[in-house]
Structure 1
């Protein structure tokens, strides 16, 4: 039985029909079951920070698997201690909690907001409302999809969790109108990824900082997709020059191995006390060994600088292509190696994506009829050039 037939017979159909079966990857390339080679600029949706089968990452994983594969959080182990130290050095003074995914990381942020709200207003207080942005994406657990102000994500799962208020992204007045002393936190993505790569303005994020300070609320950044070097800085907060109180991470942190984390600033680092939160697999030795390998490579190979440099080249080239084909492309936008291309309404992103795959380039669809380019942080200039050639050729053909 073919792989596709097994999927049809045995796998739940929540992802729809998939077009290719991948069997091998190396660097920025993957191969399908027929031996066809593709340039992968989807990166597992911003996960593969070092590309496929990076030697440092693979060696770290094998070494750890042969040493200590799992250790519950009832005990300590060096890989987790090292990963926490590294993250705090990158993010600033504070402490780290490890989990398994971006949704879990955002759940932890929401629980931290509740704990702080209770601390400030008392057990019977009402400081637990959270303001989020329309078209943001924070996960698919019941709490995080309630925080995700998108009808297509929330459809079918009502009643949603209460006490979330939805403001307009990049509209400070919209947030201000919803603000009050009952607000425990404001949670936003510095760059909305799933909605088509829409960056926040620096003024918007600075305004959120001021509003949160005024009302005693926590400012929380969801950097699950835009963090860990993707913007050209390790943390997107530093790229925008705005200090958050807490930040969620996942995706690129493990380079392909599942891991999530939150960083709590020094003021909030002790919100979680013994028994208030936990996880079986979060921060296990294998995951932390991979995270350490990723962070070591980002540091030693100067991959943030590479993301900055080649991201500018990629974006400017895509913007030129957009101007050349205005009847097909609305615009290209992004920060670092997180770039979105928005298409005109009569050119559906799913169809463009299929055409690109046929020509050997993998991208990731996003809402608002966009495609995302999320290549490895160690992508080479020659690979960027190859991707641009395939992209323009495909656009000219559709």
Structure 2
């Protein structure tokens, strides 16, 4: 039985998978079980920050797996401590908590914000509401779906966790109108990924932070997709010259293994006490060994290269007839099309040996941060060819 047949027979039908089976990769290149070669502009939806099977990352993961693969969080482990130190030192946050995914990191951030208000203002203050933005995406659990500002995800799973409301992106007056005494936090993405690659306006961000500060309302930044160098800085917040009270990370941090992280300022460093929050697998030694390599390789030179590669992409694609506009920053870009459907472009790219993604009606590009100039130009040539081709009848 083929892999695709096995999957269809035994795995729940939650994905509209493309009919290819990937088996081996190196850098930004991956091969299927038929030997076909693809340039990957998706990096596993932003996960493979160093591309496929970076030698240093693979060696660190393999070595740690032979020393200590798991202990639970009832004991100390070196890899988790090392990754926490690197993250805190490089971001100026005080403490980190490790989980297994972006959704789990966002759940923890929500709990942290609510407990801060409960401890500081008491239960009677009823400060529990969290405002998020329209077109946001924060995860697939019941609570993070409730936090997600897209109706398309709010189907079939009622009742959702209470305590969330949504405001229009970049609309300060709408935010002010909903900023009542019940609000404990505002949760944002600096660049909305699943929502269509929308950037927050710098003036809006500045005003949002000022407004929240005056009311002791926490700002939670969901950097699950934008963090770990994706936008050309370690955190996307650096582009806006702000530090949220809480930042969540996942995707690229593990370099291919599951991890989520919550970073918090000193004000929140001791809000969680033993028993308040936990996870069996969070901070896993093998995963953290890989994350340490990712962070060590994410130096100034690599971040600068990400910014330069954005320029190359824009130069080669902006003036194509089918390209209306390119949104985004760094290697997190969304291409608005004039006369083609994103789904058709994705399928045609696959036929030509290129993997790209969608974000609503846009083509989404999330190539590995380490993609070489040769790999980048090869993929862009395929994409340009598809974008310039005549639509199929």
Q: TM-score, length-normalised on structure 1?
A: 0.96
Assess if the C-alpha contact under 8 Å between 1:315 and 1:334 holds in 2: no
Cα deviation 1:6-28 (Å, max 9, x = unaligned): 12211111102422111111000
Assess if the C-alpha contact under 8 Å between 1:223 and 1:249 holds in 2: yes
**How is 1:258-337 mapped onto 2 (pairs within 5 angstroms)?**
258-299=258-299, 302-321=301-320, 325=321, 328-337=322-331
By how many angstroms is 1:125 displaced?
A: 2.2
Deviates more, 1:131-140 or 1:232-241: 232-241
Distance 1:175 1:270 in 2: 29
Distance 1:339 1:181 in 2: 37
Distance 1:386 1:340 in 2: 19
Q: 2:342 aligns with which of 332, 339, 349?
A: 349
Distance 1:257 1:8 in 2: 24
By how many angstroms is 1:246 displaced?
A: 0.5
Cα deviation 1:226-284 (Å, max 9, x = unaligned): 00011111011112212211100000000001111010011111111110000000001
Alignment correspondent of 1:371: 363
Cα deviation 1:85-130 (Å, max 9, x = unaligned): 0000111041000000000000011001110110232023211110
Distance 1:7 1:77 in 2: 36
Assess if the C-alpha contact under 8 Å between 1:57 and 1:293 holds in 2: yes
**How is 1:83-162 mapped onto 2 (pairs within 5 angstroms)?**
83-162=83-162
| 1:54 lines up with 2:54 in the alignment | yes
SS of match in other structure, 2:24: strand
| 1:67 lines up with 2:59 in the alignment | no
Q: Which runs of 5+ in 2 are unaligned?
A: none
Assess if the C-alpha contact under 8 Å between 2:93 and 2:263 holds in 1: no
Cα deviation 1:53-78 (Å, max 9, x = unaligned): 00010000011001110011000011
Distance 1:59 1:335 in 2: 31
Q: TM-score, length-normalised on structure 2?
A: 0.97
SS of match in other structure, 2:318: helix
Q: Which runs of 5+ in 1 are unaligned?
A: none
Alignment correspondent of 2:351: 358
SS of match in other structure, 2:261: strand
Cα deviation 1:11-53 (Å, max 9, x = unaligned): 1111024221111110000001110100000000000100000
Cα deviation 1:128-158 (Å, max 9, x = unaligned): 1100000100000010000001111121111
By how many angstroms is 1:187 displaced?
A: 0.2
Q: 1:391 aligns with which of 383, 386, 392?
A: 383
Pairwise CA RMSD of aligned residues? 1.2
By how many angstroms is 1:330 displaced?
A: 2.8
Cα deviation 1:303-339 (Å, max 9, x = unaligned): 2111111122213332222xxx1xx433211101111
SS of match in other structure, 1:280: coil
Alignment correspondent of 2:232: 232
Distance 2:85 2:228 in 1: 15
Assess if the C-alpha contact under 8 Å between 1:180 and 1:215 holds in 2: no
